Amino acid sequence: MKYIKQLDSIRAIALMLVVTGHWIPAEKWINRIPNGPIGVNIFFVLSGFLITAILFENRANEASPGVPRSALLKNFYVRRILRIFPIYYIFIFTVFLVAKYVQTNITLDFIYYFTYTCNFIFYKEGYWDGMLTPLWSLAVEEQFYLLWPFIILFIKKKHLLPVIIVFIITGVVSGWMFRNTELGGVLPFTCFDCFGMGALLAWVIKFAPGRLQRFYTGLSVIAAVALLLFIYSLLKPQLVIIPLRTLIGCMALWLITFVVLNRHSGSLVFKYFFNNKILIFLGKISYGLYLYHTAVPYLLNSKLINIYLNPLLPDIIFKKYWGQLFLLENILLLVLVSWLSYILIEKRFLKLKSKFEYHSHH
């Protein structure tokens, strides 16, 4: 699938929402809306779309002679591993090594972090795990990757759409069933609706491109209704029937479809927003930003900079504007660490992906 740079801008927006949810105190006005969950669910829809689009291309390649499905599966998994594993494992081993300085259960639950199953331990224990909390969504993504390629590559073409729709319904129904369960939303099947919505867009683009505009028009109506229900659910949470995640998923799918359809337009929203170089840059390094965003303020700032460097600043800055200073330092540190991580680690592994192309002539 051709790289769509504007999707990196969506990644950046999703990331900013997650960081806002985690860094700004819950009682502040900006967190009246559930920023964290909105950001995570945008990531899920985006993943569902991109992964399914890649797998559909693989199916097409399989039609060319000499490409067995096993080779496609192998290439898919190797490419995902090269993308995801290196900094994830560096991160969890680092946290493990400094375990006595950080308040997490990593020494007890290391096997869950190691096997990308920490979402199950969060659900079982019923509470989050400090700065390792965001890893639940990476675990869910990994569980989706284990299942989805087999479905997309091995079932008949005519069954693809029904399976995607069943997937969406599974997410909606299980999301509703677990709505009153502590941390029920970290279980993989309660996230299937978001992944399935992304997959639906990939299906339309691949198998019914002529209907994309109609799909977008219908989706605009659904997203508008979802937005109204979403606002209503924030005011009267006990009265809402459709899970919050499903509503967010519908709006995220609308946004992604809008970008895919109009990415070549010269309109102002693209010129200044979706084509914004800063957003695209942040989207590119978003995996590191997501992985490190709870650790950076805690490990680097609270334990080092705030103790040794900040007291050297003039008193007026340190005392009067401490909150703003801390936030600004955290932003700069997080971007710096994630950029270095991208340049020094991620990029080197990403280069290896070219050895595992999907095409038959390799």
| 305 DSSP assignment | I
Q: Beta-carbon neighbour count of residue 156 at 10 Å?
A: 7
Whether residue 71 lies inside any domain: the answer is yes
Whether residue 361 lies inside any domain: the answer is no
Region of poorest pLDDT, from 18-22, 94-98, 294-298, 347-351: 294-298
Whether residue 22 lies inside any domain: the answer is yes
Whether residue 287 lies inside any domain: the answer is yes
- Residue whose pair of structure tokens reads 């800055």 in the numeric block: 317
Characterise 126 by phi-psi region: left (phi > 0), alpha (psi -120 to 50), beta (else): left
| Digit-coded pLDDT (tens) for 232-255 | 998 987 777 899 999 999 999 999
Name the band, by pLDDT with cuts 50, 70 and 90, for residue 318: low
- Residue whose pair of structure tokens reads 């950029």 in the numeric block: 339
| Digit-coded pLDDT (tens) for 25-60 | 889 999 999 999 999 999 999 999 999 999 998 888
| Whether residue 359 has pLDDT greater than 60 | no
Which amino acid, one-letter code, is at 259? Answer: V
* Mean pLDDT, residues 251-275 taken together: 94
How many structural domains compose the chain? 1
Whether residue 212 lies inside any domain: the answer is yes
> pLDDT at position 128, please?
93
Tokens of 220: 């605009």
Whether residue 253 lies inside any domain: the answer is yes
> pLDDT at position 190, please?
97
Helices marked H in 155-243 — which ranges?
157-177, 192-207, 212-235
Name the band, by pLDDT with cuts 50, 70 and 90, for residue 362: very low
* Mean pLDDT, residues 313-319 taken together: 69
Tokens of 208: 């019914």
| Whether residue 361 has pLDDT greater than 50 | no
Tokens of 51: 């992964």
Structural domain for 56, as ranges: 5-356
> pLDDT at position 68, please?
81
Whether residue 362 lies inside any domain: the answer is no
> pLDDT at position 305, please?
72
Which is higher by pLDDT, 206 or 357? 206
| Whether residue 208 has pLDDT greater than 70 | yes
The end-to-end CA distance of the chain, in Å, is: 18
Whether residue 317 lies inside any domain: the answer is yes
Task: Give the separation between CA 129 and CA 72, rounded to whole angstroms.
Answer: 36
SS3 353: helix
| Digit-coded pLDDT (tens) for 155-194 | 999 999 999 999 999 999 999 999 888 999 999 999 999 9
Residues contacting residue 7 through CB under 8 Å, at least 6 positions apart: 46, 50, 256, 259, 283
Residues contacting residue 275 through CB under 8 Å, at least 6 positions apart: 5, 6, 9
